[in-house]
Amino acid sequence: MHGELPKQIWAKTSSRNRRILAIGLIIIALAAVLIYVFAGTAEQKRAGRGRFAADGPVPVLVAAAQKADVPVYLDAVGTTKALNTVTVRPQVDGKLLEVTFKEGQDVKKGDVLALIDPTTYQAQLDQAVAKKAQDEAMLANARIDQERYERLALTNSINRQQADTQKSLVAQLEAQVKSDQGAIDNTRAILAYTTIRAPIDGRTGIRQVDEGNIVHASDSTGIVVLTQLQPISVFFNLPQQDINQVNNAFAKMPLAVDAQRSDNDAVIDRGTLRVVDNQVDPSTGTVKLKAEFSNADLQLWPGQFVNVRLLIDTLKQVVVIPTGAVQRGPNGTFVFVVKDDNTAAMRPITVQKQDETQTVVANGVAPPERVVTTGFARLTDGGKVSIGSGDATPAAAGAPGGRRQRGGGNARPNAAPTTSQ
């Protein structure tokens, strides 16, 4: 028994030592993890502070202010309409003998489109001609009798009343002959209506009636619809607030109008403003305008919707910068101007006109000063900058300001971007 007691004591001591060792190892591991985590976080913080607090030039892109002629446009959505539209209808009743046009054919004024059976109307003309010939023969005989009666009356061989009666008969027959001529002209015109001709230059649509049918002058559908496509009209509306500007500009010169595609603002055709309506639509507060386009390539089609821009003015040799360079603060609009020593200076500006890509500056910047267009996050007044390799041009895109103008171009001499009022 005395030998077993030390063994039990030694076993208990060894077990306790192993637990203490295990706990110690766990504590050491936890300490290592905490040291690693906190040391890494502190290092990251120091690295972050070093990155953001590091002194150095701010990378930016710049663009030079330029002078250019800037057109001023008013935008609208227009509806294309044929300059003239005619529903070709028969003017007489009869059987349609022949349709001489093809659907979609371009025809000239006076071209034959259809023929109606002329038999009945030709017979009526022949009757009218024969009636006139009969009355002319009676008139000729009455005139001979009148001359004879006049001579006899001078010698008192007959009563004067008889000569006067004969004179009246001659007048009646003369009037009858004139009436016959009128009947001939009327029947000849009706006969001419059996040949249906194009009243205007234009393009035929889908044929409404086939050969062999009986057509009537009262038919509402007609034979075909003829539309004049060259030239063609575009109607659009502008707010009543813009009409004074339009009228003032229209009084000085013809105003150019561009028709543009709705998907990419490409110019389809260029035309001229023809009419400004004489009243404001009280329900919409707009005024209707009409422009005319040559439509030489038939890019415009009746019923088509197109974007329209009306040129009302051109600002001559004004200072333009990219709209992306314009910043706004509590004190108004400003830009960062890059000096020759590559430092940025905050410069307040006065905006005269602005669109999505270009801004016309009334004062504050002058060519060839450079303005920052990209890289404003760390930029401060007087801070150093590093100009990137891809220097922006005045065509750099920016946030829109003012009413949107479609199709604005780059600022360049004699072809600068669009601007709005």
Model confidence over 339-385: pLDDT tens digits? 989 899 999 999 988 888 889 999 989 998 999 999 888 888 888 99
CB atoms within 10 A of CB 405: 25
For residue 403, is it within any domain? Answer: no
Single-letter amino acid, residue 237: N
Q: How many domains does the chain have?
A: 3
Provide the residue range defining the domain that includes 322: 64-81+230-387
Distance between CA atoms of residues 178 and 173, nearest Å: 9
Q: Are 369 and 64 in contact (CB under 8 A)?
A: yes
Q: How confident is the prediction for the chain on average, in pLDDT?
A: 83
For residue 420, is it within any domain? Answer: no
Q: Which residue has the higher pLDDT, 286 or 46?
A: 286
Share of the chain above pLDDT 70, in %: 83
Task: Assess whether 199 and 264 both reside in one domain.
Answer: no
pLDDT reading at 231 higher than 60: yes
DSSP per position, 358-416: EEEEEES--TT-EEEEE--SS--TT-BEEE-SS---TT------SS--TT-----TT--
61: CB partners within 8 A, 6+ apart: 372, 373, 374, 375, 387, 388, 390, 391, 392, 396
- Domain of 201, CATH number, reads 2.40.50.100
Model confidence over 269-286: pLDDT tens digits? 999 999 999 999 999 999
Query: Looking at residues 311-340, what average pLDDT do you find?
Result: 91
Model confidence over 107-119: pLDDT tens digits? 999 999 999 999 9
Model confidence over 305-323: pLDDT tens digits? 999 999 999 899 999 999 9
Last residue of a domain, one of 226, 257, 287: 226
Distance between CA atoms of residues 349 and 377, nearest Å: 20
For residue 329, is it within any domain? Answer: yes
Last residue of a domain, one of 169, 192, 226: 226
Cα atoms found within 13 Å of the Cα of residue 236, Cβ hemisphere only:
26
Candidates 362, 386, 360, 361; CA nearest to 372 is: 386
Task: Assess whether 279 and 382 both reside in one domain.
Answer: yes
Distance between CA atoms of residues 246 and 308, nearest Å: 14
- Give the per-residue pLDDT at 389: 66
**pTM for this prediction:** 0.66
Task: Assess whether 276 and 380 both reside in one domain.
Answer: yes
Residue 238 sits at φ, ψ, to 5 deg, of -125, 150
For residue 296, is it within any domain? Answer: yes
- Give the per-residue pLDDT at 420: 43
266: CB partners within 8 A, 6+ apart: 260, 407
Angle at 256 between CA 282 and CA 307, to 5 degrees: 60
pLDDT reading at 83 higher than 70: yes
Sign of CA dihedral 338, 344, 350, 356: positive
5: CB partners within 8 A, 6+ apart: none
Q: Which residue has the higher pLDDT, 72 or 409?
A: 72
- Give the per-residue pLDDT at 16: 67
- Domain of 300, CATH number, reads 2.40.30.170
pLDDT reading at 159 higher than 60: yes
Q: Are 69 and 415 in contact (CB under 8 A)?
A: yes
Task: Assess whether 199 and 244 both reside in one domain.
Answer: no
Q: Are 375 and 47 in contact (CB under 8 A)?
A: no
For residue 393, is it within any domain? Answer: no
CB atoms within 10 A of CB 410: 17
Q: Among 155-164, 167-176, 184-193, 231-240, which stretch is predicted with the lowest mean pLDDT? A: 155-164
Query: Looking at residues 183-196, what average pLDDT do you find?
Result: 95
CB atoms within 10 A of CB 383: 18
- Give the per-residue pLDDT at 23: 79
pLDDT reading at 403 higher than 50: no
Model confidence over 16-27: pLDDT tens digits? 667 777 777 788
Distance between CA atoms of residues 369 and 376, nearest Å: 18
Task: Assess whether 381 and 236 both reside in one domain.
Answer: yes
Task: Assess whether 302 and 320 both reside in one domain.
Answer: yes
Task: Assess whether 41 and 170 both reside in one domain.
Answer: no
Candidates 381, 420, 375; CA nearest to 401 is: 420
Task: Assess whether 110 and 168 both reside in one domain.
Answer: yes
How are beta strands 66-82 and 305-322 bridged, if at all?
Answer: antiparallel
For residue 392, is it within any domain? Answer: no
Residue 268 sits at φ, ψ, to 5 deg, of -80, -50
Distance between CA atoms of residues 258 and 271, nearest Å: 6
Residue 222: which region, alpha, beta or left (left: phi > 0; alpha: psi -120 to 50)?
left
Distance between CA atoms of residues 258 and 405, nearest Å: 12
- Give the per-residue pLDDT at 262: 81
Distance between CA atoms of residues 175 and 169, nearest Å: 10
Task: Assess whether 151 and 97 both reside in one domain.
Answer: yes
How are beta strands 58-64 and 385-387 bridged, if at all?
Answer: parallel
For residue 399, is it within any domain? Answer: no
- Give the per-residue pLDDT at 400: 33
6: CB partners within 8 A, 6+ apart: none
- Give the per-residue pLDDT at 398: 34
Task: Assess whether 149 and 48 both reside in one domain.
Answer: no
Most confident residue range from 38-52, 293-307, 382-396: 293-307
- Does residue 152 sit in helix, strand or coil? helix
- Give the per-residue pLDDT at 33: 66
Question: Residue 37 — very low, low, confident or very high, per pLDDT cuts 50/70/90?
Answer: low
- Give the per-residue pLDDT at 265: 79
- Give the per-residue pLDDT at 75: 92
Residue 28: which region, alpha, beta or left (left: phi > 0; alpha: psi -120 to 50)?
alpha
Task: Assess whether 18 and 108 both reside in one domain.
Answer: no
Sign of CA dihedral 145, 146, 151, 154: positive
For residue 289, is it within any domain? Answer: yes
Question: Residue 41 — very low, low, confident or very high, per pLDDT cuts 50/70/90?
Answer: very low
Would you give the DSSP letter of residue 343? B
Task: Assess whether 316 and 218 both reside in one domain.
Answer: no
Last residue of a domain, one of 169, 199, 226: 226
- Give the per-residue pLDDT at 98: 94
- Give the per-residue pLDDT at 7: 52
Tokens read off for 415: 């072809």
Single-letter amino acid, residue 201: D
